[in-house]
Amino acid sequence: MDSIELSQIRCYGYTGFLPEEQVLGQWFEVDLTLWLNLQDASQSDVIDDTLDYRQAIAQVKEIIKQEKFALVERLAGAIADSMLNLDKVQQVRVRLSKPAAPIPDFGGRITIDITRPLPQDA
């Protein structure tokens, strides 16, 4: 299966378990892998035969900016659901990171990594 990868989509949002995370917000970073058939586009050179990834990037940013969830797992799931609604996408992998999680004495990042196929009834 072919794929398109979009890396380091960075956006400020208000998801988090702590109340201050939902008020003050924080940065999130998203890497996407979108599986779709690129056979036609590889032959035709026509944008309608592929996914216009500008739409995917805009949707990710809109979800991060507008939605407020307690769990980053829920935010990652909302992004995955949105990507599966894009025309031609058959499967998605979302890697959602909090590069500066508010955890004392922790300088690393938290990353949620989910992969979802298009539901069979779609």
Q: What is the mean pLDDT of each run of 10 residues along the chain (122 residues)?
A: 96 93 94 97 95 96 97 98 96 96 87 94 64
Helices 72-84 and 53-66: crossing angle, nearest 10°? 150
With contact defined as beta carbons under 8 Å apart, do 71 and 16 qualify?
A: no
Six-digit token pair at 121? Answer: 């009834």
Q: Is 65 assigned a catalytic role?
A: no
pLDDT attached to residue 117: 96
Q: Domain for residue 112, yes or no?
A: yes
- How crowded is the C-beta side of 118, counted as CA atoms within 13 Å? 15
Q: Domain for residue 109, yes or no?
A: yes
Q: Domain for residue 16, yes or no?
A: yes
Q: Domain for residue 122, yes or no?
A: no
Q: Domain for residue 46, yes or no?
A: yes
Neighbours of 105 (CB within 10 A): 4
pLDDT attached to residue 102: 84
Q: Which domain holds residue 59?
A: 3-117
Q: Domain for residue 21, yes or no?
A: yes
Q: Domain for residue 107, yes or no?
A: yes
> Residue 72 belongs to a domain with what CATH number?
3.30.1130.10
Give the separation between CA 4 and CA 93, rounded to whole angstroms: 11
The domain total for the chain is 1
pLDDT attached to residue 122: 59
The catalytically annotated residue of 61, 65, 88, 98 is: 98
What are the φ/ψ torsions at residue 27 (nearest 5 degrees)? -80, 145
pLDDT attached to residue 101: 83
Give the separation between CA 96 and CA 116, rounded to whole angstroms: 14
pLDDT attached to residue 96: 98
pLDDT attached to residue 118: 92
Q: Domain for residue 39, yes or no?
A: yes
